[in-house]
Homo-oligomer: A and B are copies of this chain.
Amino acid sequence: MKAFNDLADFNTDEIHALLELANRLDERPEPQALRGKVLSLLFLSPSLRTLASFQAAMTRLGGGSFVISPEMSIHGIETRPGIVMDGAAAEHINEAVPVIASYSDAIGIRAFAERKDLEFDLADSEFKALTGLIHTPWINMESAMNHPCQNLADWKTLDDLSVAANGGKFVLSWAYHPRALPLAVPASTLYMAARRGMDVTVLRPEGFELPEPVMHRARAAAEACGGSIQETDDRTEGMQGAHVIYAKSWSSTRHYGDRLNDQKLREEHIDWCVDEPWFDNAQDDCRFMHCLPVRRGVVVSETVLDGPRSVVIHEARNRMLVQMAVLHQMLGSEQ
């Protein structure tokens, strides 16, 4: 495996093999598998789970990792192309990325969307520029449009909870958040649930429709895998019979890159905080999923988050396990 960037790059057997490997490594640790191997972790965007879970994953497999982020004691990293570097930053990403990669058996990179131009972000252009600089195997730790480690962890969580792949209803719901957030999680989660063959409902206020290319890709995947894609702004309808609600805030696609109008529209929907009444018409054991970090009392009520529906810690732990599987396939000597 030369890159782990998008579930779409893997067929269903390959995804199942990764999930089985994740379970196997959880049950039967292999503390020698990646002896002497080095994973570098480049964070151009902040992180807690990714930071922690990748370091833990490498340790559990007998290797090691190092972390680089611009906030650390380094010279400052310039990311703009073609610039005369007479300002504060002393190093360009064009050197930093190949240098870091040169010390590594694999490199993980995290860089959020710029959120100025939707076409640019939909093409994952910034991230492709970064990974185009290197030949080392790499892992997408969240780009403008992808978050494959989260997607694989969520797939595993649904399996662990015995949520039906075909026939299970998966609600991807927008939620209020004080800041405009990227599309990577909602777009790639929608695709994951579609690839898993689920009946997916995208529940969001008007103005927060996911971009048509994202919806199109999901519809094609659903069709191929025995599922379906619905879309609604009606919470009662959306939650009807749901097995899982996956909450996430994202910025308005109607006002993409327009901070003021995005904020104005978002604030009209401050009541989109997932709370117990949302579950009135859902399955009794309907689960609450979220990739974290989550804002208590804003995105979800404390009652739901601290209650039996919530599987967010289970989801988070699965990040480590699926990443161990990816690293094992990418760097294991017998692969």
Contacts and interface: CB of A to CB of B under 8 A. Distances in A.
Nearest to A77: B48
Interface stretch (A9-17, A90-98, A251-259): A90-98
A69 interface: yes
A270 to B, nearest CB: 9
A36 B52 contact: no
A52 B35 CA distance: 18
A72 interface: yes
Contact of A48 (B82, B91, B292, B313): B91
B295 A86 contact: yes
Contact of A52 (B66, B78, B313): B66
Interface stretch (A57-65, A228-236, A275-283): A57-65
A111 to B, nearest CB: 12
A90 B45 CA distance: 14
A318 to B, nearest CB: 9
B55 A64 contact: yes
A320 B103 contact: yes
Contacts of A82: 302
A60 B58 CA distance: 13
How many identical subunits does the complex contain?
3
A30 to B, nearest CB: 8
A131 to B, nearest CB: 16
Interface string A67-108: 011111111001000111110001110111011101110000
Contacts of A132: none
Interface in A25-66: 29-32, 35-38, 40, 43, 46-49, 51-53, 55-56, 58-66
Contacts of A48: 68, 74-75, 91, 96, 99-100
Contacts of A85: 295-298
A54 to B, nearest CB: 9
Contacts of A296: 78, 83-85, 92, 94
A108 B62 CA distance: 21
Interface string A300-335: 001000100000110011001000000000000000
Contacts of A38: 56, 59-60
A213 interface: no
Name the residue in A66, A68, A306 with the highest tally of chain B Cβ atoms < 10 Å from its Cβ.
A66
A294 interface: yes
A326 to B, nearest CB: 15
Contacts of A58: 64
18 contacts: A29-B36, A32-B35, A36-B61, A47-B74, A48-B96, A48-B99, A48-B100, A52-B100, A52-B103, A71-B73, A85-B295, A86-B295, A91-B293, A91-B294, A94-B296, A99-B316, A99-B317, A102-B320
Given A51-B74, A56-B66, 5 more contacts: A38-B60, A52-B66, A70-B73, A86-B295, A102-B317
Interface of A: 29-32, 35-38, 40, 43, 46-49, 51-53, 55-56, 58-66, 68-75, 78, 82-86, 90-92, 94-96, 98-100, 102-104, 178, 292-298, 302, 306, 312-313, 316-317, 320
